[in-house]
Structure formats: structure tokens, C-alpha cells
Structure 1
Amino acid sequence: MGEFRVRFFPEVAPLAVENFKNLASSGRYNNTIFFRVINNFMIQGGDTTNTGSGFDSYAGGTFADEFSEQALHLRGALCMANQGTPNTNGCQFYVVQAPQEALVSNIWTQLREKMDRVYPDAVKALYQTYGGCPWLDFSYTVFGQVYQGMETVDAIASVSTNEQDKPDTDVVIQSITFSTYTAAQDPAAASSAASAPAA
């Protein structure tokens, strides 16, 4: 289906970045599948057992959540999938695919009323411009951002799935490689940096 490129955030999520890089470098993500795909939401993979229930980190067991106001669930965010409770990150990850159009009009009121979260105007503007899943912020670790190849993520998200959101035809991660990120490779870097909220 293609490839996509991700910039890591080791300054805000060092545990998640190190875990992902170790798993990928050791080949444990090779030939695994995106086993959960929900269009206008996210694509999930990284289960090294290919069953959807594997959660061991590179070191074995799980590791702690890492949250930051600088790492949000914007469209293209690379995030750890936990086991539904805090500090249970392992090998599974997901990429947020939700476009701006998927944000419901009253999302900020819902977040304030149901989760007691008040978002600064600058953060709201980012979500309203790029899309994403703000209700996941501070519940799941964001450790990277797709900067090239979102069309591949969209293509994966649009495949036909069964009732458990598993693709009818396997979408396989053949391999993961690493290179040095430079802003020159990222057409959105300048605009993203200019619009990012201050620390």
C-alpha cells in the first residue's frame, strides 16, 4: 500500500520511542499486521504475536505512560495502545487517522463537561485545522507524528473490515527502517512549528 514516515518525540516520550525503536530494529514488527482499523479514527498494529492480544514491551512486561501538552492526538500522531488501564504500554501502537471533518461540532463542550478538560484556543485551532482525537489526550502516550505518507495511512484506514475491525485482507508491515529526520523533509514543519502552542 505504500509507506509513511514518522518523526519521533524522544524529548517527551523517551520510554515509548526507545521501546518502539528496539522492537523495530530487532525485526519484531516485521510481517506483523494492522489488526484493528477504523476509518476516520485510527489504524492499530504492532502486536508482535499477530493475535491482537500481545502486549509485551521490548524489555518484557509493560511500561509507564508519558504525557505532554506538546504531544497531542492530532491527525497522524503515533501513539502507544495500552491495555485500557494506565501504565500498561507494551508493543502495540496506533496512528490517528481522524480528519478535521470527523470532529463533532460540540467536542470542546463535551470534553469540558465529561472529562473536565479545558483546551487553550491554540490547541483547539490545531485540532480544527488538522483533525485528530482530542478525547484521547492524556490517556495514551503520543510519541511521534507522521510527516510524510498520510495517504498511505488513509488507504489502510479505508480497507474493508469485519465486525471486529480487522481488515478482511491482511495489511502487513513488511519492515521498519530509520533515518535522520530533517525539517527540510517535512513540508508542514514550518507551519506546524509556527502554530504549535508554547510550552
Structure 2
Amino acid sequence: MPKHRELFLQAIKSDVYRDALFNRVIENFVVQGGEHDTDIAKREAAHPELGKPRLAAEFDPRAYHKVGAFGAGRDDNPEKASFLNQLYFIVGKPVSTEELDALEQKKGFAYTTEARNTYLQIGGQPRLDNDYTVFGEVYEGLSVLLEISKVRTDKSDYPLKEIHFTVEEIR
């Protein structure tokens, strides 16, 4: 997912994710932050002449929605193209062999042995595979995200208390 990686690194350099907010939190699913869907829709409606900038989807069987994966959010566009300034982290849930088998039938692809084993051992959200672009993985601090995923939210999944975050590049 080289284009998503470059977009993300550019966003870090531009401070897009400096003191950003997690604005959608769903236990056993995702912790999402950056620009919110509603804000994107309002901006695009106010300036239709600018179009709807998106980054084309990039799928790779090595990048899947296991616990700790992170990817780019999107709307319901048929190209499955990503928003430019929104990311999510998978906190996931346990996955069964039956669920994976059913998803393979429904989606028309087979999970790799690695993905299947990982989903069965640690869980995730395999239903998002090949629909949303995964371009990274949390390697430190996953326990913090898992705690964030349990905060109280309103009916629209907004946390009742603001949760700020900053993303920095580590070299």
C-alpha cells in the first residue's frame, strides 16, 4: 500500500494527526480518528467544485484486519477509495472458522494460511478485508487502544469525553 503509506507520512509531516481526536469508538470493532465522515460530507457539499478527493484502494493479502491493524476510512463509494485524513485501528473480536468460511464464500476469495491463523488466534474484523485499505499495524501500545475502545460513547459512537492523539513517525 505504497500510496497510502506516503499519504500517511505526508499527513504526519503536515501535522494532520497532531492533537487530533478519536471521533468514533466501537467496542470490539474500531477506534477511528482524524477527520470525521460528517465533516468531510459537509465540506464536500459546501464546495462541490472541488469534487470528492479520495485515494484509490490498495489491497494486499499480507495486510488484513487483524487486531492492531490500521487503515484508512472511507464512505460508500463503489471504488472503495479512502478518505485522505481519516484512520482507524482495529480492536476486533474473536473470529471462528465458520465465520471465515462464510466470508470466503460471500466475498469470493480465500484467506491466506497466516491470516486465517491470526484471525483464529487473536481476532479482528475480517469482514472489512478487500473493502477497506489496511496500511499499517500497531506494534506498541495496543493495550491503550483496547482500553480506548471501551470508553462510553453517545448513540453516534462519539466518545463522551474527548480523546486526543498525535501520530509521529519513528525512524
CA contact (8 A) 1:43 1:97 kept: yes
Which blocks of at least 5 consecutive residues in structure 1 are unaligned?
1-12, 181-199
1:133-185 CA distance string (max 9 Å, x none): 11111111111000111111011101000110110011112x322212xxxxx
Structure 2 residue corresponding to 1:73, chosen from 65, 83, 93: 65
Alignment size in residue pairs: 160
CA contact (8 A) 1:35 1:52 kept: no
Q: Give SS of 1:93's match.
A: strand
Identify the residue that residue 95 of structure 1 maps to in structure 2. 89
Q: How does 1:84-163 map to 2 (within 5 A)?
A: 84-85=76-77, 86-99=80-93, 101=94, 103-104=95-96, 106-163=98-155
TM superposition score normalised by structure 1: 0.73
Identify the residue that residue 20 of structure 1 maps to in structure 2. 8
Shift of 1:120: 3.8
Shift of 1:18: 1.1
* Percent of residue pairs identical: 28
Structure 2 residue corresponding to 1:32, chosen from 17, 20, 26: 20
Q: 1:38 to 1:25 in 2, by over 3 A?
A: same
Query: What is the aligned-residue RMSD (CA, Å)?
Result: 2.1
The one-letter amino acid paired with 1:149 is G
Q: Normalized per residue, which structure has more helix?
A: 2
CA contact (8 A) 1:54 1:91 kept: no
Shift of 1:116: 2.4
Matched residues in 1 for 2:104 and 2:37: separation? 36
Matched residues in 2 for 1:22 and 1:52: separation? 23
The one-letter amino acid paired with 2:89 is V
Q: 1:63 to 1:106 in 2, by over 3 A?
A: same
Shift of 1:114: 2.5
Identify the residue that residue 30 of structure 2 maps to in structure 1. 42
**Displacement over 3 Å in runs of 4+:** none
Matched residues in 2 for 1:36 and 1:168: separation? 11
TM superposition score normalised by structure 2: 0.84
The one-letter amino acid paired with 2:72 is M
